Chain A
Amino acid sequence: QQQVKQSPQSLIVQKGGIPIINCAYENTAFDYFPWYQQFPGKGPALLIAIRPDVSEKKEGRFTISFNKSAKQFSLHIMDSQPGDSATYFCAASTNDYKLSFGAGTTVTVRA
């Protein structure tokens, strides 16, 4: 039973475009929502994370939007570059830090 639902499964954008990935959760005990980037053959790497008391967080070209009432959060990649082509995972955890991951979104940025 997947606790975090992620969409779309894949998306393609042109360089400079803004890929948007959406996630939804049910467990209201979740209090930490990270996004991970994974390249083929590598482990996931933390991109950015947010807690439910904040509605938006920006780090560089990555922005998380968080809607606590809707139990949804999303990742925006501003000014996307071909080097951003990777699989992105949303995740959530409670204070045990045990992560529940979404199924992933493969992003392709075309030059």
Chain B
Amino acid sequence: DTGVSQDPRHKITKRGQNVTFRCDPISEHNRLYWYRQTLGQGPEFLTYFQNEAQLEKSRLLSDRFSAERPKGSFSTLEIQRTEQGDSAMYLCASIPSGGPLSNEQFFGPGTRLTVL
């Protein structure tokens, strides 16, 4: 257990429905990252936050995706009008600010999304 938690762990939904995932990072970590991992591939960067500010979004993050980190603590990732191609593991990671270990990203267990 890295201290990063994600909820739910599994989500099955029908095409066209909206889903929302939550990530709780390690409390003193001010940077939070979202990645998507499809079967047999490495994680791909989606977006990241410094405190509550969203600093970058990947082109993988279509208009149907939105992420927030309202108080600089937990974050949510919402997918609207889900498509079968959205089926993947969604991973959250956080890092501490500053110091020699500041690159070390701690990953949560992920949320596995299946779109039927």
Contact = CB atoms under 8 A, between A and B. Distances in A.
A55 B55 CA distance: 32
A93 interface: yes
Contact of B103 (A32, A41, A89, A101): A32
Interface stretch (B36-44, B70-78, B79-87): B36-44
A6 B33 CA distance: 22
Contacts, number: 63
Main secondary structure of the interface of A (DSSP, over half): strand
B42 A104 contact: yes
B65 interface: no
A90 B108 CA distance: 18
Contacts of A101: 42-44
A75 interface: no
A51 B43 CA distance: 21
Interface residues of B, number: 27
Interface size class of A (residues with CB under 8 A): 20 to 34
A45 interface: yes
A89 B55 CA distance: 25
A46 B106 CA distance: 7
A97 B103 contact: yes
Interface string B45-79: 10010000001100000000000000000000000
Interface in B10-51: 31, 33, 35, 40-45, 48
Contacts of A4: 42
